[in-house]
Chains A and B, each alone.
Chain A
Amino acid sequence: MPDDPAFVERLRAGDKEACALCVREHSTHVYNLALKLTGDPAAAEDVLQETFLSAFRAIPRFEGKSQLSTWLYRIAHNAALMKLRKRQVDTVSLDEPVENKAGVPEPREFADWSENPEEMLMDAEMRHAMQTAIASLSETLRSAFVLRDVNGLSTAQTAEVLGLSEEAVKSRLLRARLALREKLSVYMSERVAESKR
């Protein structure tokens, strides 16, 4: 199966059944990575197609030094970044959190969230706030957060996909998490204020 050298050999030989299995195993993760990074279903579909077309073309050069999934994520991540750069999205937020001496954005919102995450997810407005918050992150922070926290890669795998050290991934992850927490806290405060009117 997926990371077994015999399976990779079948992919190299152009075995259609193996290619189909590879697509079945990895398309959901690749699609979701692309969707979260680009925020655009059409761009995510393009990235999905480009990832597997590129991967099957490049598989003879896959040396098996990383897991097949990590390699696919790397191709997908690069394809998604190309899409973002073509769109020239300005990802620098005008209200970036202030940074403390250690360079970590300092929290400014201290509203307590009384609801638990399961209850919060039932709310369509909350899900929209989550999408808006993730879209507001810079490309570098979004990549680290999506790979590590949404797609569930380890810190080491995330570092490999992004070509960074694990320390750099951890630093970006912390910044991304704090920025998202800040945005969602603002949303939660506004919601509580509205409910009291």
Chain B
Amino acid sequence: MNGGECQHLLGQLSDYVDGELGQAMCDEIEQHLSGCRNCRVVVDTLRKTVTLYQLAGAEPVPGDVQERLLKVLDLQDFIGEKK
């Protein structure tokens, strides 16, 4: 990642993987990617990084933690079945 084009891509990387760039900019980046192995790896592994954390998702609030929260808030009698 030493060339000017690589550094230009780096600045646009988030917008590119989020699909927030215009077509002309995407075409320019994809042309660069076709000839730059390191940038292809960075784009691919950056996408996978974001996907990994998204897929890992939210952990449910543990039952005992939820119970203590409701007690502190004095709401034990107002919670029905969780959706």
Q: How large is the interface on A (under 10, 10 to 19, 20 to 34, 35 or more residues)?
A: 35 or more
* Cross-chain pair count, CB within 8 angstroms: 131
**Are B61 and A28 within 8 A (Cβ)?**
yes
Query: What per-residue 1/0 map shows which CB atoms of A52-88 lie under 8 Å from chain B?
Result: 1100100000000000000000000000000000000
User: Does B24 interact with chain A (Cβ within 8 Å)?
Assistant: no
Which single residue of chain A is at the shortest CB-CB distance from B51?
A117
How many chain-B residues does the 8 Å CB contact rule pick out?
A: 42
Which of A101, A121, A130 interacts with B7 by CB under 8 Å?
A101
Cβ of A180 to closest chain B Cβ, rounded Å: 5
**Are B61 and A16 within 8 A (Cβ)?**
no
**Are B49 and A181 within 8 A (Cβ)?**
yes
Give chain B's interface secondary structure class. Answer: helix
Most interface-central of B60, B62, B73 (chain A CB within 10 A): B73
User: Does A162 interact with chain B (Cβ within 8 Å)?
Assistant: no
Cβ of B41 to closest chain A Cβ, rounded Å: 5
Contacts A100-B10, A173-B14, A185-B45 given; indicate if A121 touches B73 (C-beta within 8 A).
Answer: no
Interface on B for A, CB 8 Å cutoff? Answer: 1, 7, 10-11, 13-15, 37-38, 41-42, 44-46, 48-56, 58-62, 65-66, 68-70, 72-75, 77-79, 82-83
